[in-house]
Structure 1
Amino acid sequence: MIQLIRILDDLPDGFPALLADAASEGVGNMARLADGWASGDQRFDRDGEALLGALLAGELAGIGGLSLEPAAAEPARRVRRFYVRPAFRRHGVARALASALVQEALDQVDLLTCNAAASPAAAPFWEAQGFSSNGSGPWTHVLRRSAS
């Protein structure tokens, strides 16, 4: 069972292993998360922001953040610092994290962005979550809340 936790004060136990996995794959966003957290520049602690961890069998399997999107012409959020460890892929971890982040964002704003340039699998993953390709800003994909 996947358990999602809100990360508030410290990066969770298991983050060093997640950081090492990301580095071994050439993914730099977890190092940027660690640096931003340590410096205080990006703690995902402003109104509208969140950092979630996904635990599977008690281990940190993945992490994902939601931040303000200052480059948009309207109030928006951005999914960032999203990563799932290779050993935990194909277990629904990314889908669970993405779903929680999307729901939280679209409860606040109509527009959510992400940059899916990190890996060849990223764009198809985000498109499966409902995002559309869109390069009109410093992002590759957007998701807009549908009018009810």
Structure 2
Amino acid sequence: MDILIQQVDQLPSQIQDLVIASEKEGFHFIQKLVDEFQQGTNQFNRYGEFLLVAFDGQKLVACGGLNIQMSDDEEANKAEAKYKIGRVRRFYVLPEYRRSGLARKLLQELEKRAKPNFSALCLFTGTKVAAQFYQKQNYVFVENHSNYNYFKYLI
């Protein structure tokens, strides 16, 4: 498997393939990625943010982005202006590419690119399988947090 992971400024035309596959699994966050990108509400283009995609030849097989994690608190937002915490968003791998090491490779690339601007990453997942994956990547479960449920310091 010769997978190419790259950063993109625009959604690839094959993004609809990920939308269709994710919707079949009951996940709506890839469609949300497309909607927010088209509306301009989240284009992963603020300082330190980015969107990664993975291709197997011409086939789009995965994506994952990083946003600045903002607090609900106005004062905390000002304090976080140095962008210390990043949020892993819209992370998805096609089912037939899971358990191949691709998700780990994509997450490691995301973390490597995050390190210059962020001291920690957070994310939210609602599935047990995803939770197990993130725990294996040294993310720690955080109880009772309104914005995320997994956290990892970048060292």
TM-score by length of 1: 0.90
Counterpart residue type for residue 2 of structure 1: I
**Structure 1: tracts of 5 or more residues without a match:** none
Q: Which moved more, 1:65-74 or 1:40-49?
A: 65-74
| Aligned: 1:82 with 2:83 | no
Q: Which moved more, 1:45-54 or 1:104-113?
A: 104-113
Tell me how far apart the structure 2 counterparts of residues 71 and 125 of structure 1 sit (CA, whole Å).
25
Root-mean-square deviation (CA), in Å?
1.5
**1:32-51 map, 5 Å:** 32-51=32-51
Larger radius of gyration: 2
Counterpart residue type for residue 56 of structure 1: D
Aligned position for 2:132:
124
Distance 1:92 1:13, change over 3 A: farther
Per-residue deviation at 1:137? Answer: 4.2
Equivalences, count: 144
| Aligned: 1:68 with 2:68 | yes
**Residues 32-58 of structure 1, C-alpha deviations (whole Å, 9 max, x = no match):** 101101101000011110000011233
Runs of 4+ in structure 1 over 6 Å off: none
The answer to whether the 8 Å contact 1:131/1:141 transfers is yes
**Hey, which of these two has a bigger chunk of helix by percent?**
2
**Residues 80-127 of structure 1, C-alpha deviations (whole Å, 9 max, x = no match):** 00101112212222111111111222232211101121x221111111
The answer to whether the 8 Å contact 1:65/1:79 transfers is yes
Counterpart residue type for residue 57 of structure 1: G
TM-score by length of 2: 0.86
The answer to whether the 8 Å contact 1:30/1:81 transfers is yes
Aligned position for 1:93:
102
Counterpart residue type for residue 130 of structure 1: N
The answer to whether the 8 Å contact 2:111/2:154 transfers is no
Secondary structure in structure 2 of the residue aligned to 1:79: strand
